[in-house]
Amino acid sequence: MDVMSSVVDPGAGAASERIAADLRARILMGEIAPGERIRQEEVAERLGASRIPVREALRMLSAEGLVELETNKGARVPRLDEREVEVLYRMRERIEPLALIESMPHLSESDLQRIEGIQEQIEQGVDVPTFLTLDREFHLATYAGCATDQLLASVTRLWNSTQHYRRAFMMINGPGRQWIVNAEHRLLLDALTRNDAEDAERYLVGHIRRTRMELTKHPEIFTP
């Protein structure tokens, strides 16, 4: 057996946080689809806890945009329509450049190397779920120098809320035109290395904007 599970893993402090982590992963992986309901008792007995920490976890996830709560009606993963996702992307186009600008001055050399390492993994050709994870890691890594947690929280919320529709798009259209993403990532990374905030912002906005237009050209993603 591996030792990992027996070690006093950091984060074992609160059961609600472990439950939140579990549900978060399942929603982001797509195991729980938009519109699907999450029953407290089911989660509680699956993870061997009572419903109290499950409720706390659901509140956390609600703050992260991963579930929506309705009084006396429970929790479900939000189902968004085309218009809402478009607005979320327009929010991304405005917020993420700010996060990048705030982060850039504090990015160390090793941070940049880590970002480049992620991009190299992406370029080796990966399947859709792995790409989604790595792409998220790539961008969030560029914001790692950002000190304000409200800014990071906003960015994370936007990524969370749009994750399912990015996956739906890639599952339908396949990983085609992947070279565009790689080019955009490389240009962004180069701008970061040159410490050129203007260019970095330009490439980032273009990247997000192009993705938005790609998604909104495929309304079939939003009608399941």
Partner DNA sequence: GGGCTTGTATCTGGATCCAATCTGTGGAAA
Partner DNA sequence: TTTCCACAGATTGGATCCAGATACAAGCCC
Size of the site for a second copy (CB under 8 A): 31
Residue 6 interacting partner from DNA, a second copy, none (CB closer than 5 to 8 Å by kind):
none
The residue within the footprint of a second copy, chosen from 63, 171, 172, 213 (CB under 8 A), is 63
Residues of 1-27 as b/e, b for ≥16 C-beta within 10 angstroms?
eeeeeeeeeeeeeebbebbbeebbeeb
Name the residue nearer to a second copy (CB basis): 118 or 204: 204
The C-alpha atoms of residue 90 and residue 84 are separated, in whole angstroms, by 10
Which of the residues 89 through 118 are near a second copy (CB under 8 A)? 90-91, 94-95, 98, 102
The C-alpha atoms of residue 77 and residue 193 are separated, in whole angstroms, by 38
CB of 90 to a second copy, least distance (A): 6
CB of 181 to a second copy, least distance (A): 24
Binding of residue 22 to a second copy (CB under 8 A): no
Q: Are 77 and 35 in contact (CB under 8 A)?
A: yes
Number of H helices, E strands in the chain: 9, 3
Name the residue nearer to a second copy (CB basis): 142 or 154: 154
| Binding site residues, DNA, CB under 7 A | 13-16, 37-41, 49-53, 55-56, 69, 71-75
Residues that bind a second copy (CB under 8 A): 13-14, 17, 52, 55-56, 59-60, 62-63, 65, 71-72, 83-84, 87-88, 90-91, 94-95, 98, 102, 147-148, 150-151, 154, 157-158, 161
